């Protein structure tokens, strides 16, 4: 049964793939929780699911997709691989592993999950992804948690990721990093787009915009993300919250509202700048 909500608009990646701007995040759900969440999200109108090898729920994503009845070609699947696959051949093996767990023949977007600069092989991992795209096994490739110095090393090798997925929210805006992405045609995808216990949802700019547009604070912040041209992957296993998160495409924030929310940036580093391997 098709949702009454509109599907999220798509963003055209540099390689030509059309990526829905709003994804269902699945960390830290297990396979059973993920299967339920994916099935309900697809029923609500989501067409982009975000997972990773490290989340240990790719099988749940595949089960939820099959249970939903939505055709595979209508769903954009993003997944990511771990540090042991940081080589050209390793990226190929990581693809095969994830495709098997997901139960699919192709993956829409495959990412290097963290640069892991201590082992120094992330450029080869990206090179392997580019070869996978050229072979038609994936539709797009990118990175996650890459800082500017990591991206510059990739650029120096003649490679340009199509996306960089980072922790991004009104408290962690990363303006210089986002500018670097724009200069190179890289789409920014925000994970934890609603923060992790941050208080910006209660801030005056968010609360005032919520009242003005008759939306929830979470909807205001998600709209702030996508209105910049970024994508966002909020996690929710609750069908009502999933529908709420998707219902952000029938209004627009003013320039003043956007600027006020952006000004909430604390300038403090987010998780993606550390070596933590949680997301």
Residue positions forming the annotated binding site for substrate? 113
Alpha carbons 259 and 185: distance in angstroms, whole number: 23
Alpha carbons 60 and 39: distance in angstroms, whole number: 10
Report the candidate in 92, 139, 84, 88 with the shortest Cα–Cα distance to residue 113.
84
Cβ–Cβ < 8 Å for 31, 57: yes
Q: Is 92 exposed, middle or buried (0-12, 13-18, 19+ CB in 10 A)?
A: middle
Alpha carbons 232 and 224: distance in angstroms, whole number: 10
Strand 24-25, strand 48-50: pairing: parallel
For 103-133, b/e burial (b = at least 16 CB within 10 A) is: ebebbbbbbbbbbbeeeebbbbbbbbbbbbb
Alpha carbons 110 and 167: distance in angstroms, whole number: 18
- The yes-or-no answer on residue 55 being catalytic is yes
Instruction: Check 55, 122, 141, 191 and give the catalytic one.
Output: 55
CA distances from 77 to 50, 123, 253, 263 (A): 6, 23, 29, 32
Helix boundaries (H) for the chain:
31-44, 58-68, 88-102, 122-134, 148-156, 175-183, 204-213, 217-227, 239-246, 255-262
Residues that are catalytic = 55
């Amino acid at each position: 049964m098709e949702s009454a909500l509109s599907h999220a608009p798509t963003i055209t990646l540099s390689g030509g793939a059309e990526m829905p701007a709003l994804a269902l995040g699945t960390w830290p759900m297990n396979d059973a929780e993920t299967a339920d969440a994916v099935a309900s999200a697809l029923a609500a109108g989501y067409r982009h699911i975000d997972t990773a090898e490290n989340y240990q729920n790719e099988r749940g994503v595949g089960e939820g997709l099959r249970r939903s009845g939505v055709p595979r070609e209508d769903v954009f699947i993003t997944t990511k691989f771990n540090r042991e696959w940081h080589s050209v051949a390793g990226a190929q093996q990581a693809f095969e592993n994830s495709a098997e767990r997901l139960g699919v023949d192709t993956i829409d977007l495959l990412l290097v999950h963290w640069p892991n600069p201590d082992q120094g092989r992330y450029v080869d991992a990206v090179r392997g992804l580019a070869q996978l795209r050229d072979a038609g096994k994936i539709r797009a490739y990118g990175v996650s948690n890459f800082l500017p110095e990591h991206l510059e090393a990739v650029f120096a090798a003649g490679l340009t990721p199509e996306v960089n997925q980072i922790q991004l929210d009104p408290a962690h805006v990363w303006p210089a990093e986002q500018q670097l992405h724009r200069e190179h045609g890289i789409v920014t995808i925000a994970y934890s787009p609603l923060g992790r216990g941050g208080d910006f949802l209660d801030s005056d700019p968010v609360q005032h915009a919520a009242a003005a547009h008759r939306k929830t604070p979470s909807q205001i912040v998600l709209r702030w993300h996508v209105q910049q041209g970024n994508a966002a992957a909020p996690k929710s296993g609750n069908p009502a919250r999933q529908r709420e998160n998707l219902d952000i495409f029938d209004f627009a924030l003013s320039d003043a509202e956007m600027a006020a929310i952006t000004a909430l940036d604390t300038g403090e580093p987010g998780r993606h700048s550390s070596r933590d391997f949680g997301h």
